[in-house]
């Protein structure tokens, strides 16, 4: 009930503000830039990432409907954006709100504060799962733990134990997420496909069999995690 109340308050508030539309690949906020306002995702998905010294992309997070970014700047913890924010889906529609006005609005009701707390706790758990995946030495483990993170944070349940990853990821995206080469990521994905852990193909999403994924992971702590 609290979630519905908070979402209704937020929707009414946001509808008074202008929207901006971006196409896939367009940079919304540059690293080091002080944005002109807080952005709230209306539709589509936004990718946050950093660049290595060699220019390799290092994804940090994906933001979908209702998410606010760049969070640290919006809440006054940084003077500028610490990542790049880029449109990831064919079209991204965003509300743009004055930062001070948005923060004042969020502080005005406990339901909104709790909603923001839930968002940031979810984001923090997702980042810790990503870190856990990257700390594994074997390519197969990096990919398995990354797939589990994607299933919980960006998955849609289509039947018991079957989850579609809602992000339209390429082999290069998986490589960027795991720190592997594109060839290695493609090889490991193909191995998992043959084992029935994942299924994918042209014009279809990545579909995970969570039961088989858990068997391969054999990690009780990870298995107990619920969708973010």
SS3 track for 106-154: HHCCHHHHHHHHHHHHHHHHHHHHHHHHHHCCCHHHHHHHHHHHHHHHH
CB 172 within 8 A of CB 225: no
CB 38 within 8 A of CB 102: yes
The whole model's pTM is what? 0.87
Rounded Cα distance between 202 and 214, Å, is 26
Average pLDDT, the chain: 90
pLDDT digits (tens, 9 = 90+) for 186-217: 999 999 999 999 999 888 899 999 889 888 88
Q: Which residues, other chains included, contact 159 with Cβ-Cβ below 8 Å and sequence gap of 6+?
A: none
Tokens matching residue 224: 């107990």
CATH fit for domain 136-223, picks 1.10.10.10, 1.10.150.120, 3.30.465.10, 3.30.365.10: 1.10.10.10
Q: Where in the chain is the domain with CATH 2.60.120.10?
A: 2-112
Closest listed residue to residue 98, CA positions, set 17, 158, 214: 17
Which fold would CATH assign to domain 2-112? Jelly Rolls (2.60.120)
* pLDDT confidence tier of residue 127, bands split at 50, 70 and 90: confident
Q: What's the pLDDT score for residue 96? A: 97
Q: What's the pLDDT score for residue 41? A: 97
């Amino acid at each position: 009930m609290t979630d519905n109340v908070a979402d209704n308050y937020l929707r009414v508030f946001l509808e008074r503000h202008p929207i901006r539309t971006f196409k896939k690949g367009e940079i919304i906020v540059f690293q080091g830039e002080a944005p002109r306002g807080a952005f709230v995702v209306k539709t589509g998905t936004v990718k946050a990432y950093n660049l290595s010294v060699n220019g390799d992309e290092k994804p940090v997070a994906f933001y979908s409907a209702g998410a606010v970014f760049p969070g640290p700047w919006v809440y006054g913890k940084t003077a500028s954006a610490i990542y790049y924010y880029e449109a990831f889906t064919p079209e991204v529609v965003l509300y743009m709100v004055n930062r001070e006005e948005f923060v004042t609005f969020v502080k005005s009701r406990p339901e909104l504060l709790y909603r923001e707390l839930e968002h940031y706790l979810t984001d923090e758990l997702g980042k810790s799962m990503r870190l856990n995946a990257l700390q594994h030495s074997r390519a197969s483990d990096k990919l398995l733990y990354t797939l589990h993170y994607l299933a919980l944070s960006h998955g849609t349940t289509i039947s018991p134990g079957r989850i579609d990853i809602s992000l339209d990821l390429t082999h290069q995206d998986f490589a960027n997420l795991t720190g592997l080469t594109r060839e290695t990521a493609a090889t490991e994905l193909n191995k998992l496909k043959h084992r029935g852990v994942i299924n994918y193909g042209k014009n279809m999403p990545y579909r995970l069999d969570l039961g088989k994924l858990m068997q391969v992971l054999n990690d009780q702590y990870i298995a107990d995690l619920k969708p973010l």
